[in-house]
Amino acid sequence: MKSPLTLYIGNYNYSSWSLRPWLVLTKAELPFKTKVIDLDIPGYKNKLLALSDAGTVPVLQVGKDKIPDSLAICEFAAKAVPNLWPKDPEDKKRAREVVEMMHTGFEAVRHEAPMNLKRRTSLPMPQTCLDEASEIDDMWTELLARHDGPYLFDEWSIADAFYTPVATRFASYDIPRSVRADTYISELMSDLDFQNWEMMAFGETHILPETDAVNR
């Protein structure tokens, strides 16, 4: 059967916003096709603007409709499939809060430690980035201490999808972290769906020189 869902994404190696809904749609077992748009090459912006006014990926095509924005795509999946948000109403509220924090904040981590799955460096990071990383570590530690599971709210949820790219940044830039955060990072990075994504990244030849130059 032809899948009515197509997820347009940026490059596997770099596009953290694309990874989030890709993980959610994959965990939801919603059949979808993936189309990659190589970022930062001549004409790429027009391709993005043809998909959405925001001119960004990810965009989910649902039949004739398009849903731009990573969080909106995750919400679409959560309406279609149960359990992508925690069941407990308080946990669900808190999960939405920590997702929103990532969706709109942590600018230093985003800019000083962009997702770059092939990257491994131990060069010192700017203090603003380290401070935000430490805030994230505290938040993870507090949530993980309140729950039994390996994930932020016991069972895997959209919150873990939102922090998977962050986990990769701790690994890529060798950002200091607590033992508890380190265990969580290993959990997210050994997830089989994440590893399938990472394999696609490792096979990619397209590079973003400006992103590769960060903290060199």
Ligand X SMILES: N[C@@H](CCC(=O)N[C@@H](CS)C(=O)NCC(=O)O)C(=O)O
Closest approach of ligand X to the CB of residue 147, in Å: 26
Closest among 135, 68, 130 to 98, alpha carbons compared: 135
User: Other C-beta atoms within 10 Å of 212: how many?
Assistant: 15
Residues making contact with ligand X (CB under 6 A): 10, 15-18, 39, 45, 48, 56-58, 69-71, 103
Closest approach of ligand X to the CB of residue 53, in Å: 12
Integer Cα distance of 185 and 206 in angstroms: 26
Between 57 and 133, name the residue whose CB sits nearer to ligand X: 57
Handedness of CA 53, 56, 61, 67 (dihedral sign): negative
Between 48 and 109, name the residue whose CB sits nearer to ligand X: 48
> Do the beta carbons of residue 60 and residue 76 sit within 8 Å?
yes
Closest approach of ligand X to the CB of residue 96, in Å: 14
Between 8 and 170, name the residue whose CB sits nearer to ligand X: 8
Closest approach of ligand X to the CB of residue 177, in Å: 23
Between 144 and 201, name the residue whose CB sits nearer to ligand X: 201
> Do the beta carbons of residue 121 and residue 173 sit within 8 Å?
yes
Element (H, E) at 44: helix 44-51
Closest approach of ligand X to the CB of residue 80, in Å: 19
For residue 13, what are the CA distances in angstroms to 145, 153, 195?
A: 31, 27, 12
Between 23 and 144, name the residue whose CB sits nearer to ligand X: 23
Between 60 and 144, name the residue whose CB sits nearer to ligand X: 60
Report residue 18: phi and psi, to 5°. Answer: -75, -40
> Do the beta carbons of residue 164 and residue 20 sit within 8 Å?
yes
Closest approach of ligand X to the CB of residue 173, in Å: 17
